[in-house]
Amino acid sequence: MTKGLGDMESTSQRNAAKRTIKKAASAARSKRTLANLPTSTRTALGKQGAAVARRERTEGSSPTRAELYDEAKRKNLSGRSKMGRAELARAIGNT
């Protein structure tokens, strides 16, 4: 009988460990803050933000990607959803 109880304890311990791992994974997924992102991702986001700020300071009235996308949509340019801001500007300028 003692052996049966021992097996039951280890099974319940295993189940408890599985629950703990699931909770930890869930908590990690929910805490998707900048501090918890990989360094390369944080660096890329910082560079992207700096580029936007620099563009706002220097050009001032340059259209945003959303505005360029709307213009491309009006002109019915193919592949516009995969284009970045600079590509959209070039494609609109060439048509």
Q: Which residue has the higher pLDDT, 24 or 83?
A: 83
DSSP annotation of 64: P
Record the pTM: 0.38
Given this model, what pLDDT does residue 26 score? 81
Given this model, what pLDDT does residue 47 score? 85
- What six digits make up the tokens of 51? 């580029």
Q: Is residue 50 pLDDT above 90, yes or no? A: no
Distances (CA, A) of 18 to 14, 22, 65: 6, 6, 46
Q: Is residue 7 pLDDT above 80, yes or no? A: no
68, 84 Cβ separation under 8 angstroms: no
Given this model, what pLDDT does residue 1 score? 43
Total residues belonging to the chain:
95
Share of the chain above pLDDT 90, in %: 23
